[in-house]
Amino acid sequence: MKTTRKQFEVFKSEFLRWYERLGLTEWRVRFHHERLEKGVCACVCADCESRLAPVYLGFVLDHSIEEVARHEALELLMSEFEDVARSRYVRPDDVVQARHAVIRRLENLLDGMEANRCLTEPGEQRSERAKRC
């Protein structure tokens, strides 16, 4: 299915929701809606040095727009870790530091969800949780 302008707006909104939730606000993002290579429905091209992250939505989707936006926000979350892992002269401390940066963001997200009781309690149905959040 070809993505519409309205879907692109939903994609941007949903991406920014996760961008905020994951604490990625030090990144400057720009959104683009254009044809991508075959099999790619969206991508983030993060530059860890400049903290610029162009976010692309293609014209063909294979998942819901919300899932794609969340996935791309998570790609941005992991970009620094990937950058360190690909570095030719990486020190063990660099990997540990990048891993802990991701962990801290996830802890902040989960703490917020727990404070709002958005996490499913043992034995609770997802639909019950959805009513709270």
Task: Identify whether the C-beta of residue 68 lies closer than 8 Å to the C-beta of residue 42.
Answer: yes
Helix (H, G, I), strand (E, B) or coil at 58: coil
Identify the pLDDT of residue 119.
62
pLDDT > 70? residue 122: no
DSSP 8-state code for residue 39: T
For residue 85, how far is the Cα from the chain centroid?
Answer: 19
Residue with tokens 């819901």: 64
Identify the pLDDT of residue 125.
59
pLDDT > 80? residue 1: no
pTM, two decimals, is 0.79
Q: Across residues 30-55, what is the average pLDDT?
A: 96
Identify the pLDDT of residue 110.
84
Map out the domains of the chain with their CATH numbers.
Answer: 5-132 (3.30.2010)
C-beta neighbour count of 19 within 10 angstroms: 21
Lowest mean pLDDT among 29-43, 66-80, 98-112, 114-128: 114-128
Residue with tokens 């940066």: 101
